[in-house]
Amino acid sequence: MKGFYFINTDIRNTRAHTCQMFNTISAIDANIPIDFVAPRYHDNIDLDAIKIRHNTPKTPRGVFLRNFGIKKPGVLAFALFNAPAVLFLFKIKIKKTVNFIYVRSSLFMPLVIFAYLLRVPIFYETHRKPISFSERILDYLISKTATGIIVISSYIKEHYLPYKKKILVAHDAVSLKRFDSKVGKDEARKKLGINLNKKICVYTGTISKLKGSDYIFETARILPDVDFLLAGRVSQEFKNIDLPVNIKLLGRKEQKELPLILKSADTLLLPHPKGEYSQSPMKLFEYMASGHPIVTSDLPSIREILDKNNAMLVEPNSARKLVEGIKKVLQDKNLIDKISKQAFDDVKNYTWEKRGEKIAEFIKSIE
């Protein structure tokens, strides 16, 4: 049995999305051989560097396809990549070297239809409910066509039940060895050049309203004696606004840099608003592995992983509630120790290895 995981992004990027895909591929590959198939936006791509960047157990194995000479990823490039992807699938089907394909984007709808016609099993992983009209159409078609669907929460699973397909809930995961350093908070701050005496809240990921960053900014104004470190790409909506002086934007960071940043924190923030955009982010599991307390929005999908025993849950869409949660954590050493320890113990159930085993068994059971 062998599968192919089709990717339509530039694999050199440092985003959590790419990290998640390569760790998933690696974890499945430990149980079922699976190669990636990606567009060649650049020549001489160093796969060993990809391994180091995303901390995968071994160097990724895959195929690069020319995409009409396009050198820059984007929606049009992603859609056009279906053409070389279809030709490649036809070739490996003729050679009888493919048993299933795996996709994580509904933009692969043409490829999925072709795979269906060739009777190649299709596994579709999705991380949120579709939002726009076009997304809903593509998601409907791909879900009706797929052999099996992989979702990252039981909350999202509810959306796909009407399709009467086999569905696996496989929450996102973390590489625990990335966080097994004995570096403590003070040492992490010294390495980062951060004040040892300040109370510090940390957020990692895209800085946008879709991720609740505006509530962090408002919270920072209410808590001027606390510093807020935000590591990630800043969306255009926040490019030219006046930020509180206690907000420190660290910019984009490599995945390998995040553990040290997380270890420098007193509190880790996950202020996602209500909505369908980001339901169970990878950072949630990285936060749990860091050994520091989490203050998070109380959302159904997040509550599948976090509760009052391993995090401080607060009402979403409210800076005032976020402030209250941060204050409760910062003022109670016993609470910090309790929820941090429990979160670390709980995250041991959410490793890439265990996720890969679940997905591989799912594929074997219905392929």
pLDDT value of residue 146: 97
Q: Which residues pair with 151 in a beta bridge?
A: 126, 169
Query: At CA 108, angle to CA 30 and CA 115, rounded to 5?
Result: 75
Distances (CA, A) of 54 to 23, 50, 91, 172, 240: 7, 6, 30, 15, 31
Task: Please tell me whether residues 142 and 214 are part of one structural domain.
Answer: no
Task: Please tell me whether residues 97 and 195 are part of one structural domain.
Answer: no
CA gap 162, 129 in Å, rounded: 13
Distances (CA, A) of 118 to 86, 89, 106, 115, 132: 11, 9, 19, 5, 30
Beta carbons of 295 and 314 less than 8 angstroms apart: yes
b/e per residue 282-315 (b: at least 16 CB within 10 A): bbbbbbbbbbbbbbbbbbebbbbbbeeebbbbbe
pLDDT value of residue 240: 81
Beta carbons of 157 and 179 less than 8 angstroms apart: no
pLDDT bracket for residue 276 (50, 70, 90): low
For 178-215, write each residue's pLDDT tens digit: 888 788 899 999 999 999 999 999 999 999 998 999 99
Task: Please tell me whether residues 192 and 147 are part of one structural domain.
Answer: no
Task: Please tell me whether residues 92 and 104 are part of one structural domain.
Answer: yes
Task: Please tell me whether residues 149 and 240 are part of one structural domain.
Answer: no
SS3 letters across 221-240: HHCCCEEEEEECCECHHHCC
Domain residue limits at 133: 3-173+351-366
Average pLDDT of the chain is 93
Task: Please tell me whether residues 356 and 333 are part of one structural domain.
Answer: no
Task: Please tell me whether residues 262 and 342 are part of one structural domain.
Answer: yes
State the pTM of this model: 0.93
Task: Please tell me whether residues 168 and 238 are part of one structural domain.
Answer: no
Average pLDDT on 145-170 reads: 95
What amino acid occupies position 359? I
For 219-261, write each residue's pLDDT tens digit: 999 999 999 999 999 988 888 888 999 999 999 888 889 999 9
Domain count, the chain: 2
DSSP-derived letter for residue 351 is B
Task: Please tell me whether residues 182 and 253 are part of one structural domain.
Answer: yes
Task: Please tell me whether residues 168 and 224 are part of one structural domain.
Answer: no
For 82-138, write each residue's pLDDT tens digit: 999 999 999 999 999 999 999 999 999 999 999 999 999 999 999 988 888 999 999
CATH number, position 39: 3.40.50.2000
Task: Please tell me whether residues 156 and 180 are part of one structural domain.
Answer: no
Task: Please tell me whether residues 329 and 360 are part of one structural domain.
Answer: no
Beta carbons of 170 and 359 less than 8 angstroms apart: yes
For 290-329, write each residue's pLDDT tens digit: 999 999 999 998 999 999 999 999 999 999 999 999 999 9
